[in-house]
Amino acid sequence: MLAIFLSALDQTIVAVSMSTLSVQLGDSHDLAWIISGYLVAMTVSTPLYGKLGDLYGRRRLLLVAIGWFTVASMLCGFAQDMPQLIAARVLQGLGAGGLATLSQAIIGELLPPRQRGRYQGYISGMFALASVAGPLLGGLLTTWLSWRWIFWINLPLGLAAWLICRRALRGLALPCHSSHIDYAGALLLISGLMCLLLAISGFGQLQKQTADAVQITLLCLSVLLLSAFVAQQKRSREPLLPLYLLHERHPLLSGLVAFFASLQMIVLTVFIPLRFEMLTSQPADRAALHLLPLVMGVPLGAYCSGRLITHLGRYKPQIVFGNLLLPLSIAALACTSLHNAWASGAWMLFCGAAIGCQFPASIVSIQTAVSAAHMGVATSTLNLLRSLGGALGIALMSSVLVSLLHRAGADPSLADSGLSGGLAASALDTVFRQLLLIDAALALPALLAALYLPERHLETSH
């Protein structure tokens, strides 16, 4: 849970500190790469950790990932300019890619299918809690201490996680089969994912005059590289990603559920505080406090879902319920005035619970669809889709927000007005209502995936 907390916290902890970072480091043009660099590095390293854990043992890889992440966090805190901070964040993301994947795979290795739901609920609850609490904690640390403490807080947590995992996981079995690494496949996968994520990260920028041609080139290059990766996996003796995970309905639909759940969690975590900040002119730490209902709802949903999996021996009802409740709650939140604090808080709580209940259920679902030898690969594939969902969600909804602001008459040349572009509060309120309604529509494909997801009886023993 500590390893999961570290990985998820740093996805969003810098969200409300961006303006402070741009002022103190004297660079606002590359500000988006503080988040994007971390997400790109974490995403491209996730499948490698899953495969290496299957081949060489998950305890060893988890200790390496925690140590790498902690050292990189220290470097982030000591950065003196924007390029140094971005480089350190990339290093941090390379360590974070193994934290969630290896922790969840270890749960799948230690416990029988029916018992996994309970503990995956704890793990998923911690992941979700850290993700949505990141902006709140980041705002408080930046306001009362310094932006450097949003990275230095990882040092004691990382050391504690490393010591606990080193002691508690000594009995974890080591793989006894021969190991072979598909280096060509790894290079193609990393290159393809990096091009894809760099292209995605370019969307939503305010200054895009020269970005379109570069993004199209990167997208085409990513298609070529990922196609070459698939061809390489077909002829590899030990594929990095078994292709049946993409062909069979069960693992594919489980991955889609996780993709959209992560997309919604990151989008709501970023844009709900931004809505309060722009409409009420509140400081970052006060605006982030409005995330508290979402913060409480996600781990509550994950905990209840995990316990129900263990009690019922089923995972599909929780996934269907969450994907039915989520678009309704987002649409209701869009139609609720910010001045109605109780109603807004209730709908955010429902949004959090709807997202949270899908996390342990989707992990259990995909782990029951694969053999024990591919447990790490399946878990890393799920986390890869989660990372892609978060990156795509931020890029897509940022682009939608910029488009809606421009249509409403915002003038980006007004430097003192920031992102609002001089719009009145009523116009901004309309923009964010439209943004949330679009986000609610974006949750509907996940409901279709949930309805067609196969159900399997969960065994009570290995």
- Is pLDDT at 461 greater than 70 in this prediction? no
Give me the chain's average pLDDT, please.
78
pLDDT value of position 44:
78
Residue 94: CB partners within 8 Å, gap ≥ 6? 41, 42, 45, 68, 72
Separation CA 359–CA 278 (nearest Å): 31
**pLDDT digits 0-9 by tens, 301-336:** 888 888 888 788 788 888 899 899 999 999 998 888
pLDDT value of position 443:
87
Separation CA 288–CA 171 (nearest Å): 42
**pLDDT digits 0-9 by tens, 186-211:** 788 778 877 877 777 665 454 444 45
The one-letter code for the residue type at 296 is M
Length of the chain as a residue count: 462
- Is pLDDT at 223 greater than 60 in this prediction? yes
Neighbour tally for 168: CB within 10 Å = 10
Separation CA 319–CA 326 (nearest Å): 11
Secondary structure of residue 57 in the 3-state scheme: coil
For 205, counting Cβ atoms within 10 Å of its Cβ (0-12 exposed, 13-18 middle, 19+ buried), the class is middle
pLDDT value of position 212:
66
pLDDT value of position 183:
74
Six-digit token string for 295 = 């913060």
Q: Which residue has the higher pLDDT, 354 or 206?
A: 354
pLDDT value of position 159:
92
- Is pLDDT at 260 greater than 80 in this prediction? yes
State pTM to two decimals.
0.74
Q: Which residue has the higher pLDDT, 28 or 423?
A: 423
**pLDDT digits 0-9 by tens, 92-134:** 988 888 887 888 788 877 777 777 777 877 777 777 677 667 7
Separation CA 90–CA 112 (nearest Å): 36
Residue 45: CB partners within 8 Å, gap ≥ 6? 93, 94, 96, 97, 98
pLDDT value of position 372:
65
CB 38 within 8 A of CB 93: yes
CA-closest candidate to residue 391, choices 207, 226, 267, 222 = 267
Mean pLDDT of 221-238: 81
Separation CA 196–CA 220 (nearest Å): 9
Separation CA 389–CA 407 (nearest Å): 26
Separation CA 13–CA 20 (nearest Å): 13
Mean pLDDT of 286-291: 66
Percent of the chain with pLDDT over 90: 5
CB 105 within 8 A of CB 120: no
Strands (E), 54-119: none
CB 275 within 8 A of CB 425: no
Q: Is the dihedral of CA 202, 205, 210, 212 positive or negative?
A: positive
Separation CA 298–CA 319 (nearest Å): 14
CA-closest candidate to residue 459, choices 101, 112, 43, 19 = 112
Separation CA 40–CA 387 (nearest Å): 8
pLDDT value of position 69:
92
φ, ψ (nearest 5 deg) of residue 459? -75, 150
φ, ψ (nearest 5 deg) of residue 434? -65, -40
Mean pLDDT of 212-232: 81
Neighbour tally for 408: CB within 10 Å = 16
φ, ψ (nearest 5 deg) of residue 313? 70, 25
Q: Is the dihedral of CA 428, 430, 434, 436 positive or negative?
A: positive
pLDDT value of position 325:
92
Neighbour tally for 429: CB within 10 Å = 16
**pLDDT digits 0-9 by tens, 377-426:** 777 777 778 777 877 787 778 778 877 877 877 655 544 445 555 667 77
Mean pLDDT of 131-152: 78
Side-chain half-sphere CA neighbours of 411 within 13 A: 7
Mean pLDDT of 133-150: 79
Among 180-184, 339-343, 446-450, the range scoring the smallest mean pLDDT is 180-184
CA-closest candidate to residue 431, choices 394, 403, 412 = 403
Mean pLDDT of 59-66: 88
Separation CA 273–CA 140 (nearest Å): 14
Neighbour tally for 345: CB within 10 Å = 18
Residue 314: CB partners within 8 Å, gap ≥ 6? 308, 455, 457, 458
Residue 438: CB partners within 8 Å, gap ≥ 6? 397, 400
φ, ψ (nearest 5 deg) of residue 369? -90, -5
pLDDT band at residue 35, thresholds of 50, 70 and 90?
Answer: confident
pLDDT value of position 337:
83
Q: Which residue has the higher pLDDT, 358 or 56?
A: 358
